[in-house]
A = this chain, B = another copy of it.
Amino acid sequence: MKNFSLFIPTKYYFGWNSLEILPLKAKEIGKRAFLVTGKKFLKEKGILDKIKSMLKENGIEFFHYDNITPNPKTYEVDEGAGILKKEKCDFIIGIGGGSVMDASKGIAIMAKNKGSIWDYMMMKKEVKDALPVILVPTIPASGSEYNPGGVITNPDEKRKWFFRDDKVYPKISIVDPEFTKFLPFSYLSKGGVDIITHMLEPVLTSETYGYIQYNFSAKLIKGVIESIIKIKENKDDREARENLCYSASLALSGIPTRGIGGFAIMHWLEHILSGIFDNISHPVGLCLLLFPFIKIIK
């Protein structure tokens, strides 16, 4: 093993109907939330109304910002932070897929710093502070709920890049497998490719052996594949849905990957791809790259 460090300060809550604890946990963090979501999914499924009622009933004020698109853009993050400041919100609740969660972290940074999120991603400026963030993933994929990173696209430069700062480790994450029931199967399978790739690329490019990392990654990857097959065969397989959700969070937590070196080569390549072609979603980009990558690496 190489020397490494691990730091995972998120309070992580997992389980069916755990969404119900959101107001309780929100109260621990702040008074007025900046609620970040995407445009469609939560609204169409009737979940958004439920969330808003839950927050209101528990006396949590909020401003709802739903201007986040897939492959979230720098201007969406900057605009969000501007509105947040005007609305005087003191924390962020991000509910959605990786795009919404990453954008929420970006907004958390820009709520406490000046300029554009791109300046901080390009290391032109230093992140001094960030607002606290609560994340609720709706798709098991990015694992953004259990790490301090995010990926944002600069459309002017047609460039997708990342930030990673311990200051935006989510304070609290709530992972409720119930959300997976609202997703079409293709979302789960594409999300699964994202989860698998998060562990496969560091292991396949690792510089040193790690018994724990190799074996944990292998078991998680096997479990994700089996779970996707099980859900295809039986929509009511609760265990498979749990397994997908928990695997997504653990994949980028550091435990399956830290200490073996290796790097996220497929993610780098994919970011170039979907940075240029905004209509390619992240998991589809990964699917395009997965087999050529395995062919080259072996």
A residues lining the B interface (CB < 8 Å): 1-16, 18, 209, 211-212, 215-216, 219-220, 223, 227, 239, 242-243, 246-247, 250, 255, 259
Contact = CB atoms under 8 A, between A and B. Distances in A.
A272 to B, nearest CB: 32
A175 to B, nearest CB: 10
Contacts of A211: 223, 227, 239, 243
Given A5-B11, A219-B219, A250-B255, 10 more contacts: A3-B13, A3-B15, A4-B14, A6-B12, A7-B10, A7-B12, A209-B239, A211-B239, A212-B243, A212-B250
Q: 3 tightest CB-CB pairs across the interface, nearest first?
A: A3-B15, A9-B9, A6-B12
A212 B5 contact: no
Copies in the complex: 2
Contacts of A1: 14-15, 239, 242, 246
Nearest to A18: B3
Contact of A2 (B15, B227, B255): B15
Nearest to A246: B212
Contacts of A12: 5-7
A38 B247 CA distance: 40
B223 A215 contact: yes
A1 B16 CA distance: 9
Most buried by B among A2, A3, A259: A3
A223 B210 CA distance: 11
Contacts of A239: 1, 209, 211
Contacts of A246: 1, 212, 259
Contacts of A216: 216, 219
A193 to B, nearest CB: 19
A179 to B, nearest CB: 15
A228 to B, nearest CB: 13
Contact of A11 (B7, B227, B247): B7
Contacts of A2: 15
A61 B12 CA distance: 37
